[in-house]
């Protein structure tokens, strides 16, 4: 192994490659720092710089690489074959090295390599919703890997493993604390905790990950003894500038702030009659001298809605709040927009805000942690859902303005953009609680790197890296993963209406759970029909937030896709779907079928007994048993609810209670 | 003041009378221990004994008094008038003294007194659901007055005040810890805490209150290192005998144990295939040598019911479990039976178990703390509800077998019987959160003493003792208190069906809150109608647990009272009530009327501004404002739910959402 390059990430790449080769071959490779050495059958890790020899400079099409891209090529030299991993940056070398390790592990190293990869998205980010008491909001895989008992965890081995995991899938940023920043977490940006934050950032740095912190908008009051957090108040601005200076003193490459402001009782600029532009620009101004950015979340809505009020529509909120501010944000502010207009439901349309702000940096927010999608007790592979979102054409600049192009900064020229996700890891030994939920973590990273990767390619990579090359395993898991989102959807809430979960923890069926609440999430089911009329014609007008092509599709009953019907329209139970079924019969059928789908998972998984180590085999079996029991509960509660409400019999006479 | 009698309670009576007189007159009374002294215009507190002079022996009809009774008489002596309070026991003297203080405070002392009072119920008991961490299960008036941070509260002034409060209304027993006995509370019967328990018992003793503890049935396992709690195992029996000996070493007049066994996941004899008789008799055997008793709760039911199963009926459970065991319990066991077959709903029928066991001691359990009746945010005077229960004729020994006679041991000759209640006090300065909720505490004590006291008499006593003799105040409060139960009922769950609350905390409307749950509490509402068919003819057969007269009344749609209709029958929304309204119209009307009723409270209360100190006036005003807002929420949620489900319009066209 020959190495050229002195950055932290190149050093990491060397360590990881040496470790990986030793694990796979049982032999420690020799390492030399003479990249032009005459040995044969070498792996050469090369970070371009002026000291590099002309021969290596010309090996790969350097001009085709962006700052984080890499090339992997097989070259003939010295009478043998060598492999070159070359990049402009240490991060590129590291990503290329992990790619090479992937090829080594899956045994796909044959033939001449001629790989050139550039990440499509500049920001590929994880959001941890970890609290310093060690709990994780919406975490289903144990406690925090960063915090416990309101302190940082001293043993950082797990954090190093985490950083390796992230870098191996191309993640380059992570906010380590919950967007709901409570009292103790507010102190993360003070000398009380900054040395600890810096220690984590140092580990991250070696793996090319910028550390971000979620901040409390009211920090100048809690920490600064000011009586205001007004973003236009000079004292507040000065306080944040000084705060940024202090943070960068500890962490020179600090990523920036993630901010949930004026949302679900969090403080924000609204308190002072200021806009979100005012609020975020003040923070951006403070971070600007150091290259930091502000990730400003757009999850802003009235969370004290009166359920009697059918004119207010939570789905409208992000667009209504942010669209009018287009062009008012500083260049180091990026708006983080949830994939849908509501909140990570199993099915909702794409947020109309995505693409709608040509003059404002945007990134998309996804949720890997399965808050509303089975909480890692149910198998739900989210890559197909994310693919649908990424491939959705916003028509923001005419046809071909897919979400993936918007967030890659290709539709509008953004200074910062990309993809973020709420991560699903915790201190469970398998990281994600459900072993198969690792596929979501892997898949998100891969899609953030390249949203055009086909679902099956991602699945194949993950299965082979995780369980080896057994074709039986691959066929079973490909089928289970591919069907799982649809199956979960079919036994939970129907036709895009969402929710129907127990309040608070968001698990398990409760059709009216949020129906008479303040959260703005209603189905309006009565004895005639159900759904939310969001049309422009006589509903909330939400459809008008989309570009004309999408607006017309959703506005009309004829063209609205079945799976989103109840999101956009209130219809009778007897309304005929494009599928040829009535709404009520669809509810009955899909709920019965969903349970059968889980039974099929169990059958498929049983075939793998003996092919997978007993520990993982049993752990997944146990989750599938739970999923089946709970799927039956969903089926029976939802079917009974709508049977009792509609009085319409199942046309197949199946048992409904 | 002349005193004869040496018991702790007489000493307390003297102190209380002296304190009360000093408070009312500003002068400390002189006290002599020569009961025959020749002073005139005396108050003589007399406990009968052999040393008493013949003159005083003959003053009152001693043979008419029971052990806790008392006489208060005006006598002419020494040329003036004296008042004699005489009793066989120190407790009798104390109760008589509080009665005298009541007369002094309300100014009803005029004319010749000739009062003779005996308590109807032997056991007049409070159940505290206090946990040692300081919380109170179903407590709405602050934290525990006994415990904090898993220790006893060192400052016992509040406990002394509490004991005074209890004695003044005739309470003679109190279990100080929650019937759900968790880990720390299990230690209350060990030397770790027994000195603290004894200190509280000593305070109680002075006020004639026996201290009881709720115990963990599995104590021999947790504390005794046995591997079983089988009540027929000789080691277990020996462990409890030794435990009783130890407890009585600390507290010679310890009252006994309160036990929640085999209920809501608490351990009990079922674990060992033993009966509740086996389980309770073992404890009774241990307590018997010391005069202690076992209060064994009958709140036993399947709390993991499948909502799909319509044959299991939670209402049946207590009778089904206990009735077959009649005659098998030891004489120092008393069964504590909730007033209704379910769980302290705003309206339910009387438990058919009351009176149904001629050979087994029974007492009734009521709930002063307003778990399902507004949690001391809503004004709900429960005396009318309790009166209905107490006056209910069980026909257990033919006509005239009212519940009040059953629990007084008059229907069947019980060795122990009476009334218990889950108390509503906490460390709030006003004891009960809602100032007017004090009336329930007062009323329960008075009814336990004499269940024949008219509601209005109790109201009058409480209002005058609490707010003085202002007639405007009395008229307003009499009206508010008298109407409050009915008004709360009218805007919450209709026609005896119960529940419709949010799970867990049991507050606020949630019609389907328990509909698809394991708790056995369903309304079965569909688009046609609602209610639980508990008839013998084609329902769960619960009606057959009543004596024939009641069974027939409930079994028939014609004779079943409107207010319990949905408890016993599943009927269409169009079913005509005796009131001349359909069920659905009744739901709409009562919910609209209920809110108007709360508005009327507010009007009535406003008239009292300036007549009541500002602190209490404002505190009650604030609660009434909350009650109105929440009553509107109940109204709208319940009406909307049934309008959406039934599709039937309100005949008056009022706004339903």
How many degrees, rounded to 5, is the angle at CA B409 between CA B404 and CA B415? Answer: 150
pLDDT one-digit tens code per residue, B363-388: 999 999 999 999 999 999 999 999 99
Best probe of the B interface among A527, A530, A591, A629, by most B CBs < 10 A, is: A527
Weakest-pLDDT range from A33-37, B173-177, B578-582: A33-37
Over residues B385-398, the mean pLDDT reads 98
Q: With CA atoms as reference, report the closest residue to A594 among A630, A566, A645.
A: A630
pLDDT one-digit tens code per residue, A404-418: 999 999 999 999 999
Best probe of the A interface among B512, B643, B656, by most A CBs < 10 A, is: B512
Over residues A324-353, the mean pLDDT reads 98
The more confidently predicted of residues A563 and B51 is: A563
How close is the nearest chain B Cα to the Cα of A149, in Å? 19
Which of A525, A637, A640 is closest, CB to CB, to B644?
A525
A656 close contact with B: CB closer than 8 A = no
Q: Give dist(CA A415, CA A52) in Å, integer.
A: 30
pLDDT one-digit tens code per residue, A188-229: 999 999 999 999 999 999 999 999 999 999 999 999 889 999
Which of B307, B528, B641 is closest, CB to CB, to A647?
B528
| pLDDT, chain A, mean | 96
From B509, which residue of chain A is nearest by alpha-carbon distance? A516
Exposed (0-12), middle (13-18) or buried (19+): which is B219, by Cβ within 10 Å? buried
pLDDT at position B29 is: 86
Over residues A580-588, the mean pLDDT reads 98
Which of A527, A644, A657 is closest, CB to CB, to B647?
A527
Over residues B142-171, the mean pLDDT reads 97
Over residues A60-75, the mean pLDDT reads 93
How close is the nearest chain B Cα to the Cα of A509, in Å? 9
**Residues of A catalogued as catalytic:** 264, 343, 371
The yes-or-no answer on residue B371 being catalytic is yes
pLDDT one-digit tens code per residue, A364-384: 999 999 999 999 999 999 999
B165 close contact with A: CB closer than 8 A = no
pLDDT at position B27 is: 86
Q: Do B657 and A511 touch (CB under 8 A)?
A: no
From A526, which residue of chain B is nearest by alpha-carbon distance? B644
How close is the nearest chain B Cα to the Cα of A308, in Å? 6
Q: Do B637 and A516 touch (CB under 8 A)?
A: yes
Best probe of the B interface among A306, A503, A505, A516, by most B CBs < 10 A, is: A516
pLDDT one-digit tens code per residue, A83-111: 999 999 999 999 999 999 999 998 888 78
Is 80 exceeded by the pLDDT of residue A452?
Answer: yes
Over residues A523-539, the mean pLDDT reads 98
Q: Do B512 and A509 touch (CB under 8 A)?
A: no
Is 90 exceeded by the pLDDT of residue B77?
Answer: no
- In the stretch 308-337 of chain A, residues with CB closer than 8 A to chain B read 308
Residue with tokens 């500002």: B614
Question: For strand A333-338 and strand A293-297, is the pairing parallel, antiparallel, or unpaired?
Answer: parallel
Over residues A339-361, the mean pLDDT reads 98
Is 90 exceeded by the pLDDT of residue A309?
Answer: yes
Which of A509, A527, A657 is closest, CB to CB, to B527?
A527
In order, the DSSP letters of A126-186 are: EE--B-TTS-BTT--SSS-SSEETTEE-S--HHHHHHHHHHHHTT--EEE-S-SS--HHHH
The yes-or-no answer on residue B202 being catalytic is no
Over pLDDT 70: what percentage of chain B?
100
pLDDT one-digit tens code per residue, B544-560: 999 999 999 999 999 99
- Residues of chain A found within 8 Å of residue B636, distances taken between Cβ atoms: 308, 516
- Residues of chain B found within 8 Å of residue A642, distances taken between Cβ atoms: none
In order, the DSSP letters of A357-415 are: -TTS-EEEEEE-S-TTTTTTTS----HHHHHHHHH-B--BTBSS-BHHHHHTTSSS--S
Over residues A424-441, the mean pLDDT reads 98
pLDDT at position B32 is: 87
- Residues of chain A found within 8 Å of residue B633, distances taken between Cβ atoms: 516
Over residues B618-631, the mean pLDDT reads 98
pLDDT at position A40 is: 77
pLDDT at position B536 is: 97
Q: Give dist(CA B354, CA B451) in Å, integer.
A: 16
Q: Considering B130, B196, B288, B343, which one is annotated as catalytic? A: B343
How close is the nearest chain B Cα to the Cα of A148, in Å? 23
pLDDT at position B398 is: 97
Provide ipTM, 2 decimals: 0.90
Is 80 exceeded by the pLDDT of residue B35?
Answer: no
Over pLDDT 90: what percentage of chain A?
90
Best probe of the A interface among B526, B591, B640, B641, by most A CBs < 10 A, is: B526
Give the model's confidence band at B60: pLDDT under 50 very low, under 70 low, under 90 confident, else very high: confident
Q: Give dist(CA A357, CA A411) in Å, integer.
A: 10
How close is the nearest chain A Cα to the Cα of B647, in Å? 6
Stated as kind and residue range, the H or E segment containing A551 is: helix A548-555
The more confidently predicted of residues A606 and B58 is: A606
Give the model's confidence band at B26: pLDDT under 50 very low, under 70 low, under 90 confident, else very high: confident
Is 90 exceeded by the pLDDT of residue B269?
Answer: yes
pLDDT at position B301 is: 92
- In the stretch 632-651 of chain A, residues with CB closer than 8 A to chain B read 633, 636-637, 640-641, 643-647
pLDDT at position B573 is: 98
Buried b (16+ CB within 10 A) or exposed e, A64-76: ebeebbbbbbbbe
Is 90 exceeded by the pLDDT of residue A25?
Answer: no
Is 90 exceeded by the pLDDT of residue B1?
Answer: no
Is 80 exceeded by the pLDDT of residue A355?
Answer: yes
Is 80 exceeded by the pLDDT of residue B46?
Answer: yes
pLDDT at position A111 is: 82
Give the model's confidence band at A60: pLDDT under 50 very low, under 70 low, under 90 confident, else very high: confident
- In the stretch 498-517 of chain A, residues with CB closer than 8 A to chain B read 509-512, 516
Phi-psi region at B327: left, alpha or beta (left = phi > 0; alpha = psi -120 to 50):
left
pLDDT at position A56 is: 81
| pLDDT, chain B, mean | 96
Q: Considering B68, B371, B393, B402, which one is annotated as catalytic? A: B371
pLDDT at position A91 is: 97
CB A60 within 8 A of CB A84: yes
- DSSP E strand stretches across A492-639: 529-530, 571-572
B286 close contact with A: CB closer than 8 A = no
Give the model's confidence band at B651: pLDDT under 50 very low, under 70 low, under 90 confident, else very high: very high
The number of C-beta contacts closer than 8 angstroms across A and B is 53
Give the model's confidence band at B350: pLDDT under 50 very low, under 70 low, under 90 confident, else very high: very high
Tokens linked to B348 = 């339910």
Is 90 exceeded by the pLDDT of residue B140?
Answer: yes
């Amino acid at each position: 192994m020959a190495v050229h390059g002195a950055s932290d990430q190149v050093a990491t790449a060397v360590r990881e490659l040496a470790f990986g080769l030793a694990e796979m071959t049982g032999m420690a490779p020799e390492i030399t720092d003479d990249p032009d050495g005459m040995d044969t059958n070498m792996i050469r890790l090369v970070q371009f710089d002026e000291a590099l020899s002309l021969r290596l400079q010309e090996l790969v099409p350097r001009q085709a690489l962006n700052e984080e891209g890499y090339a992997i090529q097989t070259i003939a030299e010295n009478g043998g074959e060598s492999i070159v991993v070359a990049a402009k940056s240490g991060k590129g070398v590291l990503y290329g090295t992990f790619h090479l390790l992937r090829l080594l592990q899956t045994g796909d190293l044959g033939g001449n390599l001629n790989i050139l990869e550039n990440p499509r998205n500049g920001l590929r980010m994880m959001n941890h919703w970890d609290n310093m008491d060690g709990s994780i909001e919406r975490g289903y895989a144990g406690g925090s890997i960063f915090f416990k008992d309101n302190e940082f965890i001293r043993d950082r081995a797990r954090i190093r493993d985490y950083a390796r995991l992230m870098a191996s899938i191309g993640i380059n940023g992570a906010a380590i604390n919950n967007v709901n920043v409570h009292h103790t977490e507010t102190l993360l940006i003070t000398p009380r905790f900054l040395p600890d934050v810096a220690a984590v950032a140092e580990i991250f740095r070696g793996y090319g990950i910028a550390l971000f912190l979620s901040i409390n908008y009211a920090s100048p009051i809690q920490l600064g003894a000011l009586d205001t957090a007004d973003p236009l108040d000079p004292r507040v601005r000065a306080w944040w500038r000084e705060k940024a200076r202090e943070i960068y003193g500890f962490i020179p490459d600090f990523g920036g702030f993630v901010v949930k402001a004026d949302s679900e009782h969090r403080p924000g600029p609204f308190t002072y009659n200021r806009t979100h532009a005012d609020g975020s620009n003040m923070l951006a101004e403070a971070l600007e001298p150091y290259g930091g950015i502000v990730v400003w979340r757009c999850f802003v809505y009235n969370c004290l809605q009166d359920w009697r009020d059918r004119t207010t529509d939570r789905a409208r909120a992000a667009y209504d709040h942010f669209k009018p501010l287009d062009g008012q944000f500083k260049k180091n502010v990026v708006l983080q927009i949830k994939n849908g207009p509501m909140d990570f439901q199993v099915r909702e349309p794409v947020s109309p805000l995505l693409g709608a702000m040509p003059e404002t940096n945007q990134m998309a927010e996804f949720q890997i942690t399965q808050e509303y999608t089975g909480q890692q007790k149910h198998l739900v592979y989210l890559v197909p859902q994310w693919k649908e979102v990424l491939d959705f054409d916003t028509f923001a600049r005419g046809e071909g303005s897919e979400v993936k192009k918007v967030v890659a900064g290709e539709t509008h020229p953004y200074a910062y953009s990309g993809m973020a996700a709420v991560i699903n890891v915790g201190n469970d030994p398998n990281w994600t609680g459900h072993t198969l939920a690792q596929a979501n973590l892997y898949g998100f990273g891969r899609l953030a790197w390249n949203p055009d990767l086909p679902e099956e390619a991602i699945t194949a990579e993950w299965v082979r890296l995780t369980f080896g090359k057994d074709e039986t395993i691959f066929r079973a898991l490909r089928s289970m993963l591919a069907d799982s989102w649809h199956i979960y959807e079919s036994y939970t809430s129907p036709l895009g209406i969402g929710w129907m979960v127990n309040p608070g923890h968001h698990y398990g069926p409760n059709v009216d759970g949020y129906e008479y609440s303040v959260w703005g999430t209603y189905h309006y089911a009565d004895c005639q029909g159900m759904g939310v009329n969001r049309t422009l014609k006589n509903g909330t007008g939400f459809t008008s937030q989309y570009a004309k092509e999408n607006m017309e599709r959703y506005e009309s009953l004829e063209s609205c896709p079945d799976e989103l019907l109840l999101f956009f329209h209130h219809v009778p139970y007897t309304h005929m779907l494009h599928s040829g079924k009535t709404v009520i019969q669809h509810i009955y059928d899909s709920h019965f079928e969903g349970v059968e789908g889980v039974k099929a998972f169990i059958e498929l998984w049983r075939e793998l007994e003996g092919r997978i180590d007993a520990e993982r085999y049993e752990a997944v079996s146990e989750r599938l048993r739970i999923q089946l029991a709970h799927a039956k509960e969903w089926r029976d509660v939802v079917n009974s609810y709508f049977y009792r409400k509609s009085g319409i019999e199942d046309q197949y006479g199946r048992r409904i209670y």
